[in-house]
């Protein structure tokens, strides 16, 4: 069944664990992610990112998400990840995403607040929750373009926009790291967690290192975004010598499922979140 992420993330914040957020880009990935959640009996956050539009457009992603999500045996949050176009985000809200991210983090804070505020109003009257981002989680293409989230800015932003959760930048990046695991700013995370009462999300979880992620969760992160590791797990299988395409697809699904289960364990979801399912 499709649900909102509100109760899930609040529960995680209260008890000190996190939910993995898995991006999906085709039917194999979404089925692997749901299979992992069903095997553990845990809710799952499934996300389609606007940047994946060339591979799978919003309508196809919604069709897949609603179909597999509503027949899943566990609660499923259907999330629109990194929506940069407010019109597309509104379209997503109207057509079945139960959670959206409005990402105006490349704008200055005033403009980010205005754009996010507008989406929050639109989403809340329609029962949809909103994540936004301040600071900037960059990619690994250019080494130095991630900026740490400022505490004062996070407080002001969450108050003025009434956003439901906030993606913060503490040193992770999207994609694969070129020089080993990243160094995260845990002090900043602790300050942010203390100052801001809404759940905090960490983007660029892939290949950040299990120790780093566990520490981040212990210090206040309640959602960790995972994409690249799943895509790489599938790619790794594709390089093996399978005899048929279906054999390869099944192996890829199994590999992605295993990795998803691993992240539930790293984030403590499997130990702490049973109560909310009852």
Give, in order, the Cα–Cα distances in Å from 118 to each of 101, 131, 135: 13, 13, 20
Nearer to Zn ion (CB atom), residue 253 or residue 267: 267
106 is an active site residue: no
22, 20, 18: which is closest to 233 by C-alpha?
Answer: 22
Q: Which one of 81, 103, 164, 229 is the catalytic residue? A: 81
Binding mask 148-187 vs Zn ion (x if CB under 5 A, - otherwise)? ----------------------------------------
Instruction: Please tell me the distance from the alpha carbon of residue 245 to that of residue 215, in angstroms, as a whole number.
Output: 39
Nearer to Zn ion (CB atom), residue 63 or residue 84: 84
Nearer to Zn ion (CB atom), residue 117 or residue 203: 203
Pick the stretch among 83-91, 110-118, 197-205, 261-269 that binds Zn ion (CB under 5 A): 197-205
Residues 239-260: b if buried by 16+ CB within 10 A, e if exposed:
eeeeeeeeebbebbbebbbebb
Pick the stretch among 121-129, 181-189, 195-203, 246-254 that binds Zn ion (CB under 5 A): 195-203
Instruction: Please tell me the distance from the alpha carbon of residue 200 to that of residue 157, in angstroms, as a whole number.
Output: 13
Pick the stretch among 150-158, 198-206, 235-243, 250-258 that binds Zn ion (CB under 5 A): 198-206
Nearer to Zn ion (CB atom), residue 193 or residue 203: 203
For residue 174, the minimal CB distance to Zn ion (Å) is 6
Instruction: Please tell me the distance from the alpha carbon of residue 126 to that of residue 129, in angstroms, as a whole number.
Output: 9
For residue 203, the minimal CB distance to Zn ion (Å) is 3
**Is residue 203 within the footprint of Zn ion (CB under 5 A)?**
yes
Number of H helices and E strands in the chain, helices first, is: 11, 9
Instruction: Please tell me the distance from the alpha carbon of residue 20 to that of residue 214, in angstroms, as a whole number.
Output: 12
Annotated active-site positions, please? 81
The contact set with Zn ion (CB under 5 A) reads 203
């Amino acid at each position: 069944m499709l649900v909102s992420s509100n109760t899930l993330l609040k529960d995680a914040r209260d008890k000190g664990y996190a939910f993995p957020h898995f991006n999906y880009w085709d039917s194999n990935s979404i089925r692997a992610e749901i299979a992992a959640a069903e095997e553990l009996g845990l809710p799952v956050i499934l996300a389609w990112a606007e940047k994946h539009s060339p591979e799978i457009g919003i309508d196809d992603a919604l069709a897949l998400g609603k179909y597999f999500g509503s027949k899943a045996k566990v609660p499923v949050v259907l999330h629109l990840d990194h929506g940069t176009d407010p019109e597309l985000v509104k379209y997503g809200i109207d057509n079945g995403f139960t959670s959206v991210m409005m990402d105006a983090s490349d704008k200055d804070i005033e403009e980010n607040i205005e754009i996010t505020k507008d989406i929050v109003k639109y989403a809340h009257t329609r029962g949809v929750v909103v994540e936004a981002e301040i600071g900037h989680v960059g990619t690994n293409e250019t080494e130095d373009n991630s900026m740490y989230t400022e505490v004062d800015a996070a407080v002001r932003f969450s108050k003025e926009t009434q956003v439901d959760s906030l993606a913060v930048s503490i040193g992770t990046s999207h994609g694969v790291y070129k020089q080993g695991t990243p160094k995260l700013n845990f002090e900043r995370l602790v300050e942010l967690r203390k100052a801001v009462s809404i759940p905090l999300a960490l983007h660029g979880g892939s290949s950040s290192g299990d120790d780093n992620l566990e520490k981040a969760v212990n210090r206040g992160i309640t959602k960790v975004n995972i994409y690249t590791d799943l895509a790489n797990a599938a790619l790794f299988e594709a390089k093996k010598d399978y005899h048929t395409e279906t054999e390869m697809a099944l192996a890829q699904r199994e590999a992605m499922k295993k990795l998803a289960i691993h992240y539930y364990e790293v984030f403590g979801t499997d130990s702490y979140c049973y109560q909310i399912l009852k």
